[in-house]
Each structure stands twice: as structure tokens, then as C-alpha cells.
Amino acid sequence: MPTETNPMERPREETINVAEAKKQLSNLLGRVAFGRETILIMRRGRPMARLVPPDEQPADQGLGAVRGWLSDDDPFLAEVEQIVAARVRHRPRTLRKPRGISKR
């Protein structure tokens, strides 16, 4: 007896570490594009990136999904703006120049 698949259900996601993803990137891209798989890339047990098929629609998540619930002058939105501004100024360690190296 065949089982029906729920169209709203997300396909199972495979997790892979960064080192393996580097080695197998071409293979992973093929599996995602043509095999309709989703791959979660992890570093030290933390999710870093997700490979998804290009035509898959992202789920409505985050503050954009609640548009219209708050008035434009709500203090919460001012706090969010401050947090976003602080994050724009922050540079991840991987993008910073290594210490001891100077321009010549």
C-alpha cells in the first residue's frame, strides 16, 4: 500500500561537516539541484549554511511574517533597529585580517 507524501512536509535534511562539504561540494550541489535534497552544513556542531534547491520557497519566518501586528512607532521596532545597526558594524572573525600582517 503506497504512502502519500504531505506536500507541506519538508524532505529529510542531511547534515554534513564543513570539511566533508569542501571535499564533496560538486557532488552535494548535484544532489541538491537534481535530487531535490536539502543539506545542512555544520561546523563544530552548529549549523553554518543550508543547501536547498533553487526553486524551493523559503518558509515565512521571522519578523517579516508578523508584518502589521505592531504600529510603526512601537518601541520594539526601535530596539530591533539598534540591534541591526550594531550587527552591521560587527565583522566576523573569519573576515578580519590576521594579526601581525600589515599592508606594504
* Predicted confidence (pLDDT) per residue in 26-77, tens digit: 999 999 988 889 999 999 999 999 999 887 666 666 666 666 777 778 888 8
pLDDT of 9 above 70: no
Query: Is residue 62 a part of any domain in this protein?
Result: no
Query: Is residue 99 a part of any domain in this protein?
Result: no
How many domains does the chain fold into? 1
Q: Which among 28, 32, 31 has a CA at the least distance from the CA of 18?
A: 28
CA gap 52, 58 in Å, rounded:
9
| pTM for this predicted structure | 0.46
CATH number of the domain residue 73 falls in: 3.40.1620.10
Query: Is residue 3 a part of any domain in this protein?
Result: no
What integer is the mean pLDDT of 11-22?
89
Residue 34 lies in domain: 13-53+67-94
Residue 85 has what DSSP assignment?
H
- pLDDT confidence tier of residue 100, bands split at 50, 70 and 90: low
Which residue in this structure is represented by grid cell 571535499?
A: 23
Query: Is residue 20 a part of any domain in this protein?
Result: yes
